[in-house]
Structure 1
Amino acid sequence: MEKVILDVDTGIDDALAILYAVESGALDILGITAVNGNVPLQNVTKNTLKVLQLAGRQDIKVYPGASEPYLKEAQHVFHIHGKDGIGNALDDMTVEGTEENLFAADFIIESVNKYPGEVTIILVGPLTNLALALKKAPEIAGLIKRIVVMGGAVDCPGNITPAAEFNIHADAEAAKVVFHKGLDITLVGLDVTSQTMMDLSDIETLAGTKYYDFIKQSTDVYRKYGEELYGRNSCALHDPLTVGYVLDESLITTREVYTDVEITGELSYGQTIADFSNRLGQQPNMKVSLEVDSGRFVKHFIDTLGNQKS
């Protein structure tokens, strides 16, 4: 099984991505690192512990990381993810697990040194933890197998500003650090994630299974936000698709291209710019996602979680 670290800002779709990764049975999850993002770090950590408890996987350790971005002030999106970050779907759960004392960036450094060339890092929140790890131990860039990032919008509008996607915009300086360290990067952006919509009919197929109640309740506020945007009661599976790519790369068509992040523009801060026409004359530094087999992915996601009986 592929060794992975999940870096999350849990978040409704982060929670779904964690469950998807756990229930796929195809990933050796070394640990989960938490980062400030959708909600503050303390919410992220608590939500992650709750989701793992729901899955019965308290053996997977949670490592708290950056409580604020690399340089800028924190921003959160409670209006999308609810007051706690997971739609208050697990309010009645008493958390049994505890977070680890090791800082997330140090856990990343420790893990890739322990398994050189073997660890894939799946980042579905701002890239602060990895940027800090690379700052502290730049030599790990040559030890990481690959990173797969939910972030960016290279050929479509943003979702936090007209130009920028939330995860990159939340810490564009950290993203810029990561993008220029010579890593094997795949960017799974809004160009493809916005095509992977889960609606109420998909959720109803999970009735009677382990995660039905949680998915229906947690995504309620998320689907209502989707209804405002798209005119249908549905939500995009941004973070689960990023896990899905690690499970099956054939789901997404990518192109190698030089891509950078804007960090100075007043209107364009956080924009991911892919130089498709090679105007800058730079060598490609990542693969960007352009097309997705959305139907096949959504079916696999639903089937994977639906296989768990209540």
Structure 2
Amino acid sequence: MTAPPLPVLIDCDPGIDDAVMLMMALAAPGLDVRSVTAVAGNVPLRLTSRNARMICELMGRSDVPVYAGCPRPMLREPVTAEDFHGETGISGLDVFEPDRPLAPAHGVADLIARLRAAAPGSLTLIITGPMTNLACALVMDPGIAAGVREVVIMGGADVAGGNITPQAEFNIFADPHAAAIVFDSGLPVTVLSLDVTHQVRAEPARIARLRSLGTQNALRMAGLLGAANQLEGRWRPGMNAPMHDPSTIAWLLAPEIFQSKAARVRTITRPGKSFGRTAVREAKSGPHRWVTHADADAFFALIEGLMQDTP
């Protein structure tokens, strides 16, 4: 008997790699995407909320509601990444205004309402941007934690070092106070950090295999990954783009291609050189899971499988 699709809520800040993540999630028969909430991060909220709707429309999934969430971090000054992702947030796609408008509620209100209504331990949250929306929801209504099965985030770094400062990864650095609230909440959090995402890169041969599938969405994804490689090359000549945010979907669909360890993660929020760093300590009782290794070939085989049957 086939297991029913896993119900998920996606919180993101598209972003090229968020766009790839959304394409994977919306194409996966094993995931039931209930809603998408956008947050300021890679680019401002007006762009992340439009870009999320754009991907839903391109994937033929305008039935999935998209909510605009928090336009800035909880405490720190806003920080965005247009210098990497481009002014639109999504290089490699022709930008347009989606037909379906934003859902009328605030993204934080949507998270609270859905988690309140959920059966205990039934909803999985995928977070691929700053954790502002979930942190605000937990502050407003701590009881919503009961509805969470797992929180799967892309963020942080340990042995890999940072990508926005020498010690900090962008998603955590953009709102470390929110990250601290989520990590300290006791929720079961699985972390796909730079430690693992740097092991899976969009090598030209892998993009070529995607393009050879010939489906519309495979061609779109190949365009996104090619654009990501061009942008990565500006900052790190000769390097291909890591598969940051898509790693969250790969973890949920094929956890067997990863290795991980039980850990306790905390976020450094005091000012200084370590601001935004994730401190990781192995702990048999968790409550966190720190993913350490990925099989890159299996990762891209998964993506090819998701894209080959799409229109």
Alignment TM class, shorter chain as reference: over 0.9
Deviations 1:178-215 (A, max 9, x none): 11111011111011011111123322223321124433
**Does the CA contact (< 8 Å) of 2:47 and 2:89 recur in 1?**
yes
Secondary structure, aligned partner of 2:133: helix
**Does 1:136 pair with 2:140?**
yes
Q: How many Å separate the matches in 2 of 1:199 and 1:257?
A: 31
For residue 103 of structure 1, the aligned residue among 98, 102, 106 is: 106
* TM-score (normalised: structure 2): 0.93
Give the aligned partner of residue 233 of structure 2.
227
Contact persistence 2:40–2:72 (CA under 8 A): yes
CA contact (8 A) 2:261 2:291 kept: yes
Which amino acid in structure 1 is aligned with residue 280 of structure 2? A
- In angstroms, what is the RMSD of aligned CA positions? 1.7
Equivalent residue number for residue 267 of structure 2:
261
Q: Which runs of 5+ in 2 are unaligned?
A: none
Give the structure 2 partner of residue 296 of structure 1.
298
- 1:94 is displaced (CA, Å) by 4.0
Are 1:69 and 1:170, in contact at CA under 8 Å, matched by a contact in 2?
yes
d(CA) in 1 for partners of 2:60, 2:27:
11
Q: Where does 1:195-206 land on structure 2 (aligned, <5 Å)?
A: 195-206=199-210
Q: Give the 3-state SS of the residue equivalent to 1:288 in structure 2.
A: strand
CA-to-partner distance for each residue in 1:233-286, whole Å, 9 max, x for gaps? 62111111111101122122111112110011411110001124x7xxx96331
Sort the Cα spacing of 1:79 and 1:164 in 2 relative to 1 into closer, same or farther, 3 A. same
Q: Which one of 192, 198, 201 corresponds to residue 194 of structure 1?
A: 198
Q: In the alignment, which of 255, 268, 273 is matched to residue 249 of structure 1? A: 255
Q: How far, CA to CA, are the matches of 2:93 and 2:232 in structure 1?
A: 18
Whether the aligned pair in 2 keeps the contact of 1:87 and 1:220 (CA below 8 Å) is no
- 1:205/1:88 CA distance change after superposition, 3 Å: closer
Structure 1 CA distance, aligned partners of 2:260 and 2:222?
32
Secondary structure of the residue aligned to 1:85 is: coil
Deviation, structure 1 residue 82? 1.4
Contact 2:201 2:241 (8 Å CA) reproduced:
yes
CA shift, 1:101, in A, is 1.2
Alignment of 1:57-68 (within 5 A): 57-68=61-72
**CA positional deviation for 1:227:** 2.4
**Is the contact made by 1:224 and 1:233 (CA closer than 8 Å) also made in structure 2?**
no
Q: Give distance in 1, aligned partners of 2:236 and 2:293.
A: 19
Q: Distance in 2 between matches of 1:232 and 1:298?
A: 20
Q: Hey, what's the Cα distance between the residues in 2 that align with 1:297 and 1:175?
A: 27
Q: Does 1:112 align with 2:115?
A: yes
Query: Secondary structure at 1:234's aligned position in 2?
Result: coil
The range that moved more, 196-205 or 170-179, is 196-205
Match of 1:34 among 22, 25, 38: 38
Tell me, in whole angstroms, the C-alpha distance in 1 between the residues paired with 2:61 and 2:286: 39
Give, in angstroms, the shift of residue 174 of structure 1: 0.1
Native 8 Å contact 1:202 1:302 kept in 2: no
| In structure 2, distance between residues paired with 1:145 and 1:130 | 14
How many Å separate the matches in 2 of 1:212 and 1:120? 26
- Secondary structure, aligned partner of 1:122: strand
Please say if residues 63 and 99 of structure 1, whose CA atoms lie closer than 8 Å, have aligned partners that are also in contact.
yes
Identity %: 30
Give the AA of the match of 1:259.
V
Aligned residue in 2 for 1:308 = 310
Aligned equivalents of 2:209, 2:293: Cα separation in 1: 26
Give the TM-score normalised by the residue count of structure 1.
0.93
Cα deviation for residue 225 of structure 1 reads 2.9
Task: Tell me whether 30-39 or 284-293 shows the greater mean CA deviation.
Answer: 284-293
> CA separation in 1, counterparts of 2:156 and 2:268?
11
> How far is the alpha carbon of 1:119 from its aligned partner?
0.2
2:187 is aligned to 183
Helix, strand or coil at the partner of 1:263: coil
